[in-house]
Amino acid sequence: MKTKLSVNINKIATLRNARGGNVPDVVKAAVDIQRFGADGITIHPRPDQRHIRFADVYALKNVIHTEYNIEGYPGEDFMAMVCEVKPEQVTLVPDPPHVLTSNAGWNAITHQSELQKIIEVFHRAGIRTSIFLDADPEQVKAAKQTGTDRIELYTESFASGYTHDRETAIRPFVLAAEEAQGQSLGVNAGHDLSLENLTFFAGKIPGLLEVSIGHALISDALYYGLENTVQLYQRCLK
């Protein structure tokens, strides 16, 4: 089964907010990105609304016909909003409000009880859950006990090590994915995946269901155009 491409459109919202108004239009971008061949749209609303605004979360629900994936820290307001919008997937990320971008996976061992309760809420709302996780088989085993449907492997260390020694960089992710398969957990991945490293990563990771890519893809679109860039990333996954 082909790995799905979910495009994170946070950076489009960042550009819009830098000038005010509604240019570029985040909703139109989501419509176009799906038309260009993406398999889903990802957003990561933060409390300060520095890119995706809460109004965007609701507006996007009306136009996403592929897969809607909402990432974020599971505070009360976030959980209430997600349960109201009911996306296909919620991805739980352990980043507090002040961080610039996601920079670590959950410690599913120490936060296991907390995550269990949170995931139960989303399951009652009929929403598939995924938790952001470092590439560690022990963390994957602990993630299984939370009741999550999937894990999303945090791929920053792979991306940073790729140019130096790609085989060494990929090894922990292969082991984590293999453990996930053994635990009957779905595997997603994201963070710093790019045209340079995506083909290698996707080709090595067993059972990779979905990648979520934002910064690199939107940056590449400045040079190649948005439609062409979506197609370039899809080719990496074929």
Domains of the chain (ranges; CATH) run: 4-237 (3.20.20.70)
Q: Which of 71, 152, 179, 210 is catalytic?
A: 71
Query: Looking at residue 95, what is its pLDDT?
Result: 78
Q: Which of 44, 152, 179, 210 is catalytic?
A: 44
- Can you tell me which residue has the tokens 């997937």? 89
Structure tokens at 54: 């809460």
Q: Active-site residue among 51, 67, 152, 191?
A: 191
- Report the amino acid identity of residue 206: P
Give residues with Cβ within 8 angstroms of 183, minimum separation 6.
140, 141, 143, 144
- What is the pLDDT, as a whole number, of residue 102? 57
Q: Where are the beta strands (DSSP E) in 97-180?
A: 128-133, 150-154
Tens digit of each residue's pLDDT (9 = 90 or more) over 75-132? 999 999 999 999 999 999 997 656 555 567 899 999 999 999 999 999 999 999 999 9
Is there a catalytic annotation at residue 44? Answer: yes
180 neighbors 187 (Cβ within 8 angstroms): yes
User: Known catalytic residue: 71?
Assistant: yes
Residue 135 confidence (pLDDT) above 60: yes
Mean pLDDT of 190-199: 98
Q: In angstroms, what is the C-alpha Rg of the chain?
A: 17
Helix (H, G, I), strand (E, B) or coil at 214: coil
Confirm whether pTM is higher than 0.85.
yes
pLDDT greater than 60 at residue 203: yes
Token code pair at residue 151: 């894990």
- Provide CB contacts within 8 A for 150, sequence distance 6+: 89, 128, 129, 130, 131, 185, 186, 187, 188, 209
67 carries an active-site annotation? no
Per DSSP, 31 falls in state H
